[in-house]
């Protein structure tokens, strides 16, 4: 009951609840008195923004002013490992796992190798460990291995690189000089470091990066860095020798001199460089790894140290040999942990406490309430936690207990955006939000004398901390495209993967040349992955490779690259299908033997332009049968032996049989009866194939294709085979092609009673259909396909809803599909699968998103836990109005039965509101977008926003009403924690009591609540307009691209093309009226009266055009969306002046905004809209863009025409 909780401020925001609750009735846990940092790594920092280079420019300015220098290190590809001494190892968000066990083993092996022949590696390891513990340091390493997941490349060796040292006692990180000195003291494996102290060196550095960004590999990058730096400190583990040629990128950091003379600083760095070189001589690159040294050395001396003699790759392979790839990383970690246990007599063990046992934000609040008795470090950690809690940041706090009694918590940030949001809210005394953030929960207060005063602490969060992470394209292609795109391929096929990669390349601002270079690679990789995942002909696949997942993708990528480079890809027919096959149906070849069926299937595939082959009819899915009919689908050919029978394909016949044809090859009764074995059974199987209700069945004899030796001869036309080919061709031509334009899926992330069915009511549907029809008439007069409007009401669907959406969307991919169903967070990941390659658009109600924070939870037994905090993205006003709408529905008026006659209607509403638990209003849209895109979907960059409340300011809810809602949510939270269904009255009486309380209070304030409702007509109108507006901008029909291969090629530019003869006639007439035009052109070697074209070789551009959009500036989707409606239209052009110099000449032009056919033509993206008329032999046509500025500088000339020169052109797509 509400009275069990303290009074709180009344109002719309339920941050509203008291900060001090009496929790004395709760079970006692260890009394936590203080907090202390246990392990930290640098805060998150971003890649360089290619458009806004403010950090780069600030770095340059500071170096130019002599305030500091730049240091450059390599970004290795691996996993974060933190070490705070002894056995206290942590991975990014956990501990005591495969990553920490392998990391510990590799570090101990490193000490053995680096001190081999001079000192005991184990003694140096222990000495270093003691120093780290005593001085409260945390060492951060990049663990580069081939066994803990795949990154950019499989490393040549397994090793660690020291990347940072944190001094937790003063909350700072060592400077690079300090890191190097510390690393050299213990021969730890530090990174390569290049120093740039002069303006020239800095300019050369950034010029170097810009030149190698799209092509750089490790060897050439490192050599280039050496050539432009002032000093180089070499690593014990050179990247090329240990990791390989695939380099993730470089990290550039500005370092202030901080009052130290430049000469002194450089001298210190030179000494460190010399010391590193000396260490590398003692521990040369070719020195074997630790386990190899034991194998080659005195075998008896080190056998007791199994931790040193273990080769982690052998462990990895033995785990695969024993149990395959399932849970492989965990099993490898268990084996390594056993090895560590066998080596050490005492091992740290950890147990993760249940989440419900700890409320870290509440604990932090309690500690801060102690005020003056709290030490500075505790206060700063607690302040950070409470600040994250008030931000509603997506953070988890797993708590672990060690066998020695230590308790510690890992702060796990779920979304990277949290780092940036926190940094914006930081004050000068706040603690940084570190990565790999671990803090200890102490049962004793910290000694005040051991904590430095705030003024002495280096908070390391000022603007002097300038860092840039600058990645290289070869790495990004592998990880972000090839690896991360596997899910997109598996869900939506190779074409969607090509769109995904282009979107990535555009977001990285990659040049047109680089995008063109990678296009074929991506297309081939997409088909390779699709081929492997679909279970196609096994002869095309290296079966020794592991399963194709993001964890093991590199094995497949290396195999694929070998085939790609040698042009030996065996699945060429798949990619050809998208370029040359117009087939739109399925051919199923059935023969007595499967090998014969394969040969015949290949024959038909070749005849119809390379149709996609599928070897396992049991694995044919609805997606295959739908995709074969899209314009670029290219059909489908499957093959089977007759004895397999039609059972597995029969399940698809009811819906897709009209698109299937069956070729029974050598399966006639006469051939079967001539067989002496199983004659009757085979006759029965053959008849079962004939009885399938498909669009076409043809029986073809073996003699139509095979000679007497049972090998396919070079095709000689026979009447029987010609008839089969003609029948198949006619059958395909009669199959309607799917309209594969990019459709739109609209969904409602809301709760019942929001009014979604009102928005998509029959009246709204009729109006939207008319709006869509009008849109189609304007955008694509040439198209015979009208975009469909489909509204699927969730309460009317008896099957599972989202699979049904997927089926309907697949049959109508270009449709505007309104999913009239409440869609809570657990369903957001399924949207991408249902939408296919369509755009997914959420509907958000205005003024409903306001984070509601509740403190307290009530169990099913009525027990109160006042420490639990839970929050929701919607306001209590929204919940109250939705609840009132449901409870005022008359019995039998709601198709789903959710009305006032349903005895638990109110608790169903509370339960639905609870589905959104721990999603904040601030992160609501970002969370939707992230979940959709992570599952391979395409989420619209904006939501449809509709009025829900009146435009007036919302009044406070009556306290009786808000109390009831809060208490209901507390009760729901408690039931949910126990995994009990609060909508079932049979659980406990308090649920029924809460139901009645809600009904009573809503009835009491019914008129007040319903009076908050927005104008229904306006909401419907806004909904329709916004949805149709999104369709307008997603209209990518490309109706004039009649050939399927055109749709698959990347658009280079959108242009208005002008015929050369038209342009010459226009210039010739202008030159007669204005002789200075003729004089200017003749100075460039152009005779206006002589023929223009290839043969004259006078520098005149042979394909004159106005560039409207270029792929380096505008995405493929945007080019199609904006310009496809006018494709092929005739457009008026007028020229006002001629610009020229000795290198290039161009006409300044204006392009009409409406085509002759009536289509709206967007303006050109160029600042200088022009047609390049002439250029020098070595000059790029793009140089025309500089002509206006060159005229202003006096380096080019301009002639204005007395009147505009008018002519016409055609809107065209140019493809790479």
For residue 30, pLDDT over 70 is answered with yes
Cα 676 to the chain's mean position, in Å? 59
pLDDT of 986 reads 58
Q: How many helices (H) and strands (E) does the chain have?
A: 43, 35
Bridge partners, residue 259, by sequence: none
Q: Are 472 and 212 in contact (CB under 8 A)?
A: yes
Closest-CA residue to 2 (of 883, 968, 800): 968
- At 114-151, the pLDDT tens digits run 999 888 888 999 999 999 999 999 999 999 999 998 99
Query: What is the DSSP annotation of 503-543?
Result: HHHHHTT--HHHHHHHHHHHHHHHHHHHHHHTT--GGGS-T
Q: 892 φ, ψ to 5°? A: 80, 5
**Mean pLDDT for the stretch of residues 379-396:** 89
Radius of gyration of the chain (CA): 35
- At 73-116, the pLDDT tens digits run 999 999 999 999 999 999 988 899 999 999 999 999 999 999 99
Return the higher-pLDDT residue of 690 and 15: 690
- At 895-932, the pLDDT tens digits run 888 999 999 999 999 999 999 998 888 889 988 988 88
How many of the other CB atoms lie within 10 Å of CB of 683? 15
For residue 696, pLDDT over 80 is answered with yes
The three-state DSSP-derived secondary structure of 788-848 is CEEEEEHHHCCCCHHHHHHHHHHHCCCCEEEEEEECCHHHHHHHHHHHCCCEEEEEEECCC
Return the higher-pLDDT residue of 852 and 836: 852
- Distant-in-sequence, close-in-space partners of 228: CB < 8 Å, separation ≥ 6: 196, 201, 204, 205, 208
**Residue 583 to residue 580: CA distance in whole angstroms:** 9
Alpha carbon of 62 to those of 51, 207, 256, 265: distances in Å? 21, 18, 9, 16
- List helix spans (H) across 1044-1150: 1044-1048, 1060-1073, 1075-1083, 1116-1123
pLDDT band at 568 (very low <50, low <70, confident <90, very high): low
pLDDT band at 383 (very low <50, low <70, confident <90, very high): very high
H or E element: which one contains 63? helix 54-64
pLDDT of 1046 reads 42
- At 1050-1067, the pLDDT tens digits run 688 999 999 888 888 899
How many of the other CB atoms lie within 10 Å of CB of 280? 16
- At 845-898, the pLDDT tens digits run 999 999 998 988 998 888 888 878 888 999 999 999 999 999 999 988 888 889
Q: Are 1034 and 1121 in contact (CB under 8 A)?
A: yes
pLDDT band at 174 (very low <50, low <70, confident <90, very high): very high
**Residue 139 to residue 129: CA distance in whole angstroms:** 10
How many of the other CB atoms lie within 10 Å of CB of 786? 15
What is the total residue count of the chain? 1216
pLDDT of 471 reads 92
pLDDT band at 323 (very low <50, low <70, confident <90, very high): confident
**Mean pLDDT for the stretch of residues 594-605:** 88
Residue 578: strand, helix, or coil: helix
- Rounded (10°) angle between helices 989-1004 and 876-887: 90
Residue 399: strand, helix, or coil: strand
**Residue 515 to residue 1171: CA distance in whole angstroms:** 25
pLDDT of 50 reads 56
How many of the other CB atoms lie within 10 Å of CB of 1120? 24
pLDDT of 107 reads 96
- At 504-534, the pLDDT tens digits run 887 788 887 788 788 788 988 988 888 888 7
**Residue 510 to residue 512: CA distance in whole angstroms:** 7
Return the higher-pLDDT residue of 1177 and 334: 334
The CA-CA-CA angle for residues 767, 770, 775, to 5°, reads 125
Closest-CA residue to 17 (of 685, 908, 967, 1204): 967
Closest-CA residue to 162 (of 101, 81, 240): 81
What are 305's two structure tokens?
Answer: 């140290």
Residue 767: strand, helix, or coil: helix
Bridge partners, residue 819, by sequence: 747, 792
Bridge partners, residue 81, by sequence: 141
pLDDT band at 1033 (very low <50, low <70, confident <90, very high): low
Q: 1143 φ, ψ to 5°? A: -100, -35
**From 187-196, 250-259, 377-386, the region with the lowest mean pLDDT:** 250-259
Closest-CA residue to 45 (of 249, 243, 193): 249
Closest-CA residue to 238 (of 109, 76, 80, 107): 76
Q: Are 815 and 474 in contact (CB under 8 A)?
A: no
H or E element: which one contains 93? none
With a pLDDT cut of 70, the percent of the chain lying above it is: 87
Q: Are 157 and 191 in contact (CB under 8 A)?
A: no
pLDDT of 710 reads 60
pLDDT averaged over every residue in the chain: 83
- Distant-in-sequence, close-in-space partners of 508: CB < 8 Å, separation ≥ 6: 50, 473, 476
Q: 593 φ, ψ to 5°? A: -125, 145
For residue 658, pLDDT over 60 is answered with yes
pLDDT of 515 reads 81
- At 1154-1199, the pLDDT tens digits run 988 788 899 998 889 999 999 888 888 888 999 999 999 999 999 9
Which range in 631-635, 650-654, 877-881, 1192-1196 is most confidently predicted, on average pLDDT? 877-881
pLDDT of 1091 reads 75
Residue 716: strand, helix, or coil: coil
What are 1195's two structure tokens?
Answer: 């380096």
pLDDT of 712 reads 63
Q: Are 1168 and 1137 in contact (CB under 8 A)?
A: no
Closest-CA residue to 910 (of 949, 854, 965): 965
Q: 627 φ, ψ to 5°? A: -65, -30
Q: Is 1051 exposed, middle or buried (0-12, 13-18, 19+ CB in 10 A)?
A: buried
The alpha carbon torsion through 809, 815, 819, 825 (nearest 10 deg) reads 70
**Mean pLDDT for the stretch of residues 707-719:** 63
**Residue 268 to residue 1091: CA distance in whole angstroms:** 71
pLDDT of 633 reads 60
Bridge partners, residue 399, by sequence: 409
pLDDT of 355 reads 63
Beta strands at 744-748 and 839-845: parallel, antiparallel or unpaired: parallel
- At 438-486, the pLDDT tens digits run 999 998 776 543 444 333 334 343 334 688 889 999 999 999 999 999 9
H or E element: which one contains 279? helix 262-282
Alpha carbon of 56 to those of 70, 709, 857: distances in Å? 11, 72, 50
Which residue reads 């600030």 in tokens?
A: 58
Q: Are 164 and 117 in contact (CB under 8 A)?
A: no
pLDDT of 447 reads 55
Q: Are 635 and 581 in contact (CB under 8 A)?
A: yes
pLDDT band at 1076 (very low <50, low <70, confident <90, very high): very high
How many of the other CB atoms lie within 10 Å of CB of 700? 22
- List helix spans (H) across 667-784: 669-673, 679-690, 719-733, 756-759, 762-779
Q: Are 1201 and 1128 in contact (CB under 8 A)?
A: no
**Mean pLDDT for the stretch of residues 570-583:** 47
How many of the other CB atoms lie within 10 Å of CB of 546? 15
**Residue 191 to residue 164: CA distance in whole angstroms:** 10
**From 47-56, 547-556, 935-944, the region with the lowest mean pLDDT:** 47-56
**Residue 727 to residue 735: CA distance in whole angstroms:** 13
**Mean pLDDT for the stretch of residues 52-59:** 77
H or E element: which one contains 1210? strand 1197-1215
């Amino acid at each position: 009951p509400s009275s069990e909780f303290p009074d709180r401020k009344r109002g719309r925001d339920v941050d509203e609840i008291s900060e001090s609750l009496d929790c004395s009735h709760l079970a006692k846990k260890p009394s936590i008195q203080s907090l202390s940092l246990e392990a930290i790594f640098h805060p998150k920092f971003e890649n360089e923004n290619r458009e806004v280079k403010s950090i780069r420019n600030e770095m340059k300015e500071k170096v130019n002013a002599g305030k500091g220098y730049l240091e450059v290190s390599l970004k290795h590809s691996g996993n974060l490992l933190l070490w705070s001494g002894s056995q206290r190892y942590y991975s990014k968000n956990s501990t005591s796992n495969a990553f920490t066990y392998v990391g510990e083993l590799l570090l101990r092996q490193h000490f053995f190798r680096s001190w081999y022949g001079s000192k005991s590696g184990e003694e140096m390891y222990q000495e270093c460990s003691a120093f780290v513990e005593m001085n409260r340091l945390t060492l951060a390493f990049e663990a580069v291995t081939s066994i803990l997941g795949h990154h950019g490349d499989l490393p040549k060796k397994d090793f660690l690189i020291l990347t940072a040292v944190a001094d937790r006692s003063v909350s700072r990180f060592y400077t690079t000089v300090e890191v190097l000195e510390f690393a050299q003291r213990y021969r730890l494996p530090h990174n390569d470091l290049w120093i740039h102290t002069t303006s020239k060196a800095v300019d050369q550095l950034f010029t170097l990066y810009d030149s190698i960004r799209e092509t750089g590999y490790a060897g050439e990058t490192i050599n280039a860095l050496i050539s432009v730096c002032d000093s180089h400190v070499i690593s014990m583990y050179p990247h090329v020798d240990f990791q390989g040629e695939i380099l993730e990128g470089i990290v550039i950091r500005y370092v202030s001199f901080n009052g130290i003379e430049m000469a002194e600083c450089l001298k210190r760095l030179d000494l460190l460089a010399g010391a590193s070189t000396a260490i590398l001589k003692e521990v040369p690159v070719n020195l074997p790894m630790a386990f190899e040294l034991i194998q080659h050395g005195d075998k008896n001396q080190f056998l007791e140290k199994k931790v040193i003699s273990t080769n982690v790759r052998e462990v990895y392979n033995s785990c695969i040999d024993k149990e395959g790839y399932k849970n492989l990383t965990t099993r490898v970690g268990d084996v390594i942990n056993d090895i560590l246990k066998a080596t050490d007599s005492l091992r740290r063990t950890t147990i993760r406490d249940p989440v419900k046992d700890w409320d870290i934000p509440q604990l932090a609040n309690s500690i801060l309430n102690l005020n003056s008795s709290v030490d500075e470090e505790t206060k700063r950690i607690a302040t950070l936690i409470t600040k994250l809690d008030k931000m509603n940041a997506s953070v988890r706090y797993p708590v672990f207990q060690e066998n020695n009694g230590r308790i510690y918590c890992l702060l796990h940030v779920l979304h990277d955006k949290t780092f940036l949001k926190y940094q914006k809210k930081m004050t000068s005394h706040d603690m940084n939000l570190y990565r790999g953030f671990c803090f200890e929960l102490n049962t004793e207060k910290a000694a005040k004398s051991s904590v430095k005063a705030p003024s002495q602490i280096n908070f390391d969060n000022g603007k002097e901390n300038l860092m840039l992470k600058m990645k290289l394209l070869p790495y990004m292609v592998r990880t972000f495209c090839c690896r991360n795109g596997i899910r997109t391929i598996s869900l939506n096929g190779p074409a969607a993967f090509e769109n995904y990669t282009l979107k990535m390349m555009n977001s990285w601002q990659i040049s047109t040349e680089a995008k063109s270079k990678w296009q074929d690679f991506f297309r081939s990789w997409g088909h390779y992955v699709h081929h492997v995942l679909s279970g196609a002909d096994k002869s095309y696949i290296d079966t020794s490779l592991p399963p194709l997942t993001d964890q093991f993708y590199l094995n497949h990528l290396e195999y694929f690259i070998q085939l790609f480079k040698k042009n030996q890809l065996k699945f060429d027919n798949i990619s050809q299908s998208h370029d040359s096959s117009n087939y739109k149906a399925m051919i199923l070849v059935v023969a007595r033997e499967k090998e014969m069926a394969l040969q015949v299937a290949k024959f038909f595939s070749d005849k119809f332009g390379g149709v996609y082959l599928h070897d396992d009819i049991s694995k044919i899915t609805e997606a295959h049968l739908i995709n074969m009919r899209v314009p670029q689908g290219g059909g489908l050919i499957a093959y089977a032996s007759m004895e397999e029978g039609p059972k597995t394909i029969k399940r698809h016949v009811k819906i897709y049989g009209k698109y299937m044809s069956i070729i029974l090859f050598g399966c006639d009764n006469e051939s079967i009866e001539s067989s002496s074995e199983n004659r009757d059974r085979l006759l029965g199987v053959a008849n079962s194939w004939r009885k399938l209700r498909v669009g076409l069945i043809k029986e073809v004899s073996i003699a139509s294709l095979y000679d007497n030796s049972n090998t396919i001869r070079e095709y000689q036309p026979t009447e029987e085979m010609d008839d089969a080919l003609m029948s198949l061709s006619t059958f395909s031509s009669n199959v309607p092609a799917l309209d594969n334009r990019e459709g739109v899926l609209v969904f409602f992330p809301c709760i019942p009673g929001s009014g979604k069915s009102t928005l998509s009511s029959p009246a709204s549907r009729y109006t939207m259909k008319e709006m869509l029809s009008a849109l189609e008439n304007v955008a694509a007069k040439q198209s015979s396909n009208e975009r469909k409007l489909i509204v699927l009401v969730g309460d009317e669907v008896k099957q599972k809803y989202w699979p049904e959406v997927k089926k309907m969307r697949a049959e109508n991919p270009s449709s505007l599909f309104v999913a009239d169903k409440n869609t809570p967070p657990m369903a957001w990941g399924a949207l991408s699968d249902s939408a296919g390659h369509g755009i997914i658009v959420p509907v958000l109600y205005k003024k409903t998103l306001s984070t509601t924070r509740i403190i307290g939870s009530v169990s099913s037994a009525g027990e109160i836990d006042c420490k639990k905090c839970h929050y929701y993205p919607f306001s209590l006003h929204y919940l109250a109005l939705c609840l009132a709408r449901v409870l005022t529905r008359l019995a039998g008026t709601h198709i789903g039965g959710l009305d006032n006659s349903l005895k638990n209607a109110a608790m169903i509403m509370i339960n639905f509101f609870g589905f959104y638990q721990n999603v904040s209003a601030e992160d609501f849209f970002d969370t939707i977008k992230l979940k959709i895109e992570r599952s391979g979907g395409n989420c619209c960059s904006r939501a449809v926003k509709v009025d829900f409340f009146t435009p007036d300011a919302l009044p406070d809810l009556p306290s009786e009403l808000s109390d009831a809602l809060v208490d209901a949510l507390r009760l729901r939270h408690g039931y949910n924690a126990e995994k009990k269904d609060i909508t079932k009255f049979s659980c406990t009486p308090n649920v029924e009591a809460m139901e009645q309380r809600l009904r009573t209070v809503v009835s009491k304030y019914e008129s007040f609540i319903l009076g908050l409702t927005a104008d229904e007509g306006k909401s419907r109108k806004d909904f329709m307009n916004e949805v149709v507006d999104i369709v307008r901008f997603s209209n990518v029909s490309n109706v004039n691209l009649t050939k399927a291969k055109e749709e698959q090629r990347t658009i280079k530019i959108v242009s208005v093309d002008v015929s050369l003869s038209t342009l010459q006639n226009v210039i010739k007439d202008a030159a007669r009226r204005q002789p200075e035009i003729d004089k200017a052109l003749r100075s460039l070697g152009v005779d206006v009266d002589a023929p223009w074209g290839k043969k004259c070789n006078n520098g005149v551009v042979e394909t004159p055009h106005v560039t409207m959009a270029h792929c380096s500036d505008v995405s493929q989707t945007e080019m199609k969306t904006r310009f496809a409606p006018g494709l092929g239209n005739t457009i008026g052009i007028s020229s006002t002046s001629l610009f020229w110099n000795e290198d290039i000449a161009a006409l300044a032009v204006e392009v009409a905004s409406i085509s002759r056919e009536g289509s709206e033509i967007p303006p050109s993206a160029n600042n200088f809209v022009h047609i390049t008329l002439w250029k020098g032999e070595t000059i790029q046509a793009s140089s025309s863009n500089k002509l206006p500025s060159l005229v202003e500088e006096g380096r080019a000339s301009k002639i204005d025409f007395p009147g505009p020169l008018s002519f016409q052109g055609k809107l065209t797509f140019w493809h790479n």
